[in-house]
A and B are shown apart, each in its own frame.
Chain A
């Protein structure tokens, strides 16, 4: 940086040195003065970064959205072989009562044949082997698989079939064929009463 304008002021060395920090070996005291400038700039930088925190976190779910993060569902009316669709955190929730034949079928599959090895009992609550609760969200790209409503295509494995890109899930909601990487997600849930589950 040129020193042309420095002659305009009384003490060119000092101000030019602090202005751009290029004038090495300027008179004593420069280091302390540099420190003040750097400290002031750093404080401004820290302040700017601190401001980013609320500006970014405002996009996270708000209190009312977070508050609606549990769903109660009465599962007593689901007959074996039937499934219902509910809503959990604005997304579809599949609840399916398996028949004994379906349970047997699910248990007969060797884990080695699965892309995402999990047994049916891993995916259900203890003592409720026939009640399969999964998210109705294909783990590929988030479409809603078919297979809940009577008569819908349940895919080659009799569970769920995602029409978007052809992922086939078996009766335990496990991925068997197609592009999806993992089984349908089982959300956290517990039995509130004998007949009502609380998801979330």
Chain B
């Protein structure tokens, strides 16, 4: 009886899902889903390598310092970075007085100790990077309703991570003739810019890196657009996960020890079982 009910229930679900299958398959054959511009012209991120990549990677502090300059001079005009504090910049190889000086270059919201009024004051190492806008409404209003996302976690919050950021920053271009011929509606509208690395091909951010020498690097590196893009991508990898190098460096001794213990456990298991293994019997 139980089996009979089960068979009926099973056939029921099977029937219903097969009807869905039939209907869907028929529909997709008779009315194939139209090809989309996103599907056909979207590009995967370019392959870029960073010194901190992989399980042996290390931060290149000179690169991170350059990336910080790009963030400060370019990105920070619109993007906040609220989970990163100035004190964290010590990771980039700055000394304590240097961190204090870097923090003091920023204006952060504060309170006047005499009057209690909201004021801007110089940043201190314990402060977090300030938002360029007082609130989300202001951010939307200033940017054609597209709120610039916070950059703290950007390298972890997008598929492709730092490579995606690099590709996006260096990927602005005019839409190809082929694209416009096939999908005229995919042409960037008012206030939008074409970029094949962006999921839907058009984004509201104007090309931020526009000219060689847009920022000046203290170490004399020439600030070409790819150089700036790469440096800031590396910097954002660090802001997304400042503990990344510590993580992989901790991983090796842990794995080494567990491997050692596992080998011992195997030998121990083997000798304990030796007595009951049939191979030991000569019968």
Contacts and interface: CB of A to CB of B under 8 A. Distances in A.
Q: Are A and B in contact, CB atoms below 8 Å, in the complex? A: yes
Interface of A: 9-12, 14-15, 18-19, 33, 36-37, 39-41, 43-44, 46-47, 50, 63-64, 67-68
A87 to B, nearest CB: 13
B125 interface: yes
B216 interface: no
Interface string B225-264: 0000000000000000000000000000000011011001
B27 interface: no
A107 B256 CA distance: 64
A45 B157 CA distance: 39
Contact of B268 (A9, A40, A46, A64): A40
B87 interface: yes
A41 B280 CA distance: 26
Nearest to B278: A10
A40 B87 contact: no
A14 B280 CA distance: 12
Contacts, number: 56
Interface stretch (B38-46, B48-56, B269-277): B269-277
Interface residues of B, number: 20
Interface of B: 85, 87, 125-126, 257-258, 260-261, 264-265, 267-268, 271-272, 274-277, 280-281
Contacts of A19: 272
Contacts of A39: 264, 268
B126 A37 contact: no
Given A9-B275, A18-B272, A40 B281 contact: no
Given A11-B275, A15-B276, A47 B261 contact: yes
A63 B90 CA distance: 12
B87 A67 contact: yes
Given A15-B275, A18-B271, A67-B87, A40 B257 contact: no
Contacts of A18: 271-272
Contacts of B87: 63, 67
A67 B126 contact: yes
